[in-house]
Structure 1
């Protein structure tokens, strides 16, 4: 199902952008109100709900013991999955993951993985045999634009709240002590900043309508130290070198604000 933006709405958004204005009165480089709540799922070892404006996502972290990958026998495993529920947006359809769902999960996963946010070395219980596997589940509750940044913040918050049972080896079996837990070993903090191009203007934290009329998108993942760890280009139009440099510089400065919410 494709959601078509009325031509009058499209023209209005473009005309506002040309004059450095937006429908909701924000500056072009301004985020909507952000709120983060952790431990929102009692059955998950880590969880968080993030709202950016009216966009709302929930993330749950479920760890379990499993076998490591053959080429990384001493490292834990991260697996990210995204569920786009039809109740969150009329264009979301039930069934196998859509291209948008897969892209969202992969971009968020890349930011977490390439920032080395989780200390995977410390998730090894017995090299070559037993490691912690972290299943990260993204659930879109209300899509009002900019799911990338909301999901990245939610994953970051959920991972920081995650507790692992104490694990030991007895008779070549893993024994878990759920009464004694440890914090998930965290190395870093990361945030994603999403920009869209409308006309010749670059807009941060787009609403759903702004996303629909945009000709290009750029996601920039940045660590709290200012290092770029992930980028993704979307949309049909190209971006100039100046466009990319602007987005990167703005993302570095905005990341400092975003990690403060954590």
Structure 2
């Protein structure tokens, strides 16, 4: 819990364009990104922001029937678990509510039209068979910007997902087609580059002042926040608001514009780090697990 003096210090600094840790208003903290940590997962990633917020994501795939309303698309399910050791706020009902909120955020991000081609890449036999990706995330530690860290970890895990090669075996009629899963050969997830990242901008202090990648202390000072999903093409994948206050229309327009720009920078930068892993997968080379789970 911040004191009144601490809140005043943070707000006054933001008004001058300088934050408590020395960053500018839209500057991001250092990010550590690891992939392919879990050998039994189809894809995995760990993201740490500022050495504090720490999230681990694993993706598992299985063949199921597609949803009746989207017969030519695959499925994605999301489950987020906030460790009770990460924050006292995660103990009991508060943690359960946050788990549901974060899971719902991911579901919204990946249900948008901007990710339709990614979902279509999971279809096998339209109306009959498709892949479902079970995305499980564990929040190991929390130091602010959970939405952004979570979406980045999920996207990194999806970028390195590999699926067994599936061969369609034609039947006498279209409805008789079957599939054969080859567990010896793996292929990269189609259109994983369409996966979005969430950018949260928090309104702190006076009118028109907002910051990116907020720390826990800064989030406690924010009167309102906007979280927008952004993909590599610069398309919005939905937006949600938070906080008990509001912002004027001009500030909102500016926040949404900056969210797209910040999101684009994050995507391009992280993709440049992922290229080595992606190139090895496309060449058929096995990617060895790294990090403390290897």
TM-score, normalised by the number of residues in structure 2:
0.81
SS at structure 2 position matched to 1:86: coil
- Change beyond 3 A, Cα 1:74–1:226: closer
Match status 1:65 vs 2:63 = yes
Q: Give the Cα separation in 2 of the matches to 1:23 and 1:40.
A: 34
Task: State the shift of 1:135 in Å.
Answer: 0.8
Residues 39-81 of structure 1 show CA distances to partners (whole Å, capped at 9, x for unaligned) of 0111110011112212111111111111211112221001111
SS at structure 1 position matched to 2:19: coil
Q: Give the Cα separation in 1 of the matches to 2:211 and 2:35.
A: 29
User: Which of 196, 213, 216 is matched with 2:224 structurally?
Assistant: 216
Map 1:1-262 onto structure 2 (within 5 A). 4-53=1-50, 54-93=52-91, 98-114=96-112, 115-116=114-115, 119-168=118-167, 174-186=179-191, 188-200=194-206, 201-259=209-267, 260-262=269-271
Residues 25-46 of structure 1 show CA distances to partners (whole Å, capped at 9, x for unaligned) of 1101100012211101111100
Higher relative strand content: 1
The answer to whether the 8 Å contact 1:189/1:223 transfers is yes
- Change beyond 3 A, Cα 1:90–1:118: farther
List structure 1 runs of 4+ shifted beyond 3 angstroms: 94-97, 168-175
Q: Give the Cα separation in 1 of the matches to 2:33 and 2:247.
A: 32
SS at structure 1 position matched to 2:72: coil
- Count of matched residue pairs: 259
The answer to whether the 8 Å contact 2:196/2:231 transfers is yes
Q: What is the alpha-carbon root mean square deviation over aligned residues? A: 2.1
Q: Give the Cα separation in 2 of the matches to 1:202 and 1:164.
A: 41
Residues 64-117 of structure 1 show CA distances to partners (whole Å, capped at 9, x for unaligned) of 111211112221001111111111112102579633222222223322332217
Task: State the shift of 1:258 in Å.
Answer: 0.5
TM-score, normalised by the number of residues in structure 1:
0.91
